[in-house]
Amino acid sequence: MESQQGSRHNEGGMSQLYRPESVSLAGVALFAAIGADEVQARATVDSLVTSSLMGHDSHGVIRIPEYLGFIAEGSILIDSSVAVERTGPTTAIVDCGRGFGPVGAERAVSEAVNIACEQRTACVITQRCNHVGRLGAWVQVAADNGMIALATCNSPIYGHFVLPFGGREGRLATNPIAYAVPTGGDPLVADFSTAVAPEGKIRFYRNEGQSVPDGWILDADGSPTNDPNAFYGPPRGGILPLGAGAAHKGFALSLLVELLGSALAGISSKDTEVFGNGVCFIVIDPAAFCPLDTFRRLMDETVEYIKSSSPAPGFDEILVPGELEFRAMRQRQVDGIPIDATTLQALCEHGSRLGVDAAGILKRGEMT
């Protein structure tokens, strides 16, 4: 958090803080200028800005130029629609139509919540779904509706940056798992890659001109490196599975995510025509087992019990999943969200191409 200053300087340049409202205005204007439906554009930008507000810059504003590039090359179709096929009392397939990933993800989890309201449990998968952004955002939708939700998210072969345990060639994506559980206050929200780190965090370090931490990546020869450029290559290196000395466990979780996103959807992991994210949502209504008020009370009791543990040396307190993100959001709503120099330049270049004064819109929201 950069709460004491309006910008931060890194080896790769300056990150400036901006009011989230101005970033949203610039993002929506850029997507609208390229022809996107304003409602879908706003939903997509809101999800990315919220990710930055919650401290997940790797899945936040940094993705707006990327999505604009996807639209320009035809990977994101701005005139598509989402279709839902109920395949059973508790199951559905959501065809996202190759449109904005966050729009498809929101429709899929909403369908899962609706089914769970009817049937107590639901499993919904996506097809033809572009990058959904921060996976935790969508399980939080379910928790905000009083549901427990688990989500997995894979990527196709072109995103297979992650090494299988013992390998030196990527065979899996960073394959996150997320879950959310309602409480009497902020929900518990966990969202983590089954690799040591998502590719977006490595990209953020590269944009900031920083080295990545030890134990994240190998170069193309299979040697450990801290240089994000050695990962991107060419030739490309790989990201290690979660777990360090127990990386076989992270690898096993990653493989589960892959199977739920590919084989369950009838898609080959080696298919070169597939794109975007394969998302699986499993939603459970806790009221099927006990009254929701009782469940929330028990969750609050559990959280209090967990946090009552005396902190170990080097720690000030015990944090439960999502707690740090909600704190970050409240702080960044006041202080602003950072945009690194590389992303800022990309936003301005897209603005010049599309006839949008993105630089001017952002400038008006600059925090000083």
Per-residue pLDDT of the chain (368 residues; tens, 9 = 90+): 333 333 343 333 568 999 999 999 999 999 999 999 999 999 999 999 999 999 999 899 999 999 999 999 999 999 999 999 999 999 999 999 999 999 999 999 999 999 999 999 999 999 999 999 999 999 999 999 999 999 999 999 999 999 999 998 999 999 999 999 999 999 999 999 999 988 888 988 998 899 999 999 999 999 999 999 999 999 999 999 999 889 999 999 999 999 999 999 999 999 998 888 999 999 999 999 999 999 999 999 999 999 999 999 999 999 999 999 999 999 999 999 999 999 999 999 999 999 999 999 999 999 97
Residue at which a domain ends, from 266, 282, 297: 297
- Is 190 in the same domain as 271? yes
Shared domain for 60 and 105, answered yes or no, is no
Q: Which residues contact 205 (CB under 8 A, 6 or more apart)?
A: 211, 212, 228
How much is the pLDDT for 8? 43
pLDDT at 5: 32
Question: Per DSSP, which regions of 182-250 are E strands?
Answer: 188-193, 217-218, 224-225, 238-239
For the stretch 178-224, pLDDT in tens is 999 999 999 999 999 999 988 888 988 998 899 999 999 999 999 99
Distance CA 220, CA 170 (A): 10
153-167 confidence digits (pLDDT tens)? 999 999 999 999 999
Biggest CA–CA distance in the chain, Å, is 56
Residues 182 and 130 placed together within one structural domain of the fold: yes
For 192-230, give one letter per residue: b (16+ CB within 10 A) or e. bbbbbbbbbbbbbbbbbeeebeeebbbbbeeeebeebeb
What is the domain count for the chain?
2
Of 165, 163, 162, which is closest to residue 174 (Cα–Cα)?
A: 162
Q: Which domain holds residue 289?
A: 83-196+240-297
Regarding whether 160 and 15 lie in a shared domain, the answer is no
- Residues 71, 125, single domain; the answer is no
In the block, residue with structure tokens 């015990």 = 318
Would 204 be classed as within a structural domain?
Answer: no
Q: Is residue 145 part of a domain?
A: yes
Question: Tell me, what's the pLDDT at 317?
Answer: 96
Do 191 and 105 share a structural domain? yes
CA atoms within 13 A on the CB side of 270: 0
Say what the pLDDT of residue 14 is.
66
In three-state secondary structure terms, 336 is: coil
Does residue 310 belong to any structural domain of this protein?
A: no
Question: What is the model's pTM?
Answer: 0.90
Long-range contacts of the stretch 222-226 (C-beta < 8 A, 24+): 222/168
Judge if 48 and 91 occupy the same domain. Answer: no
Residue 46 sits in a domain whose CATH number is: 1.10.1530.10
How far apart, in Å, are the Cα atoms of 188 and each of 87, 181, 184, 279, 293?
A: 30, 5, 10, 20, 16
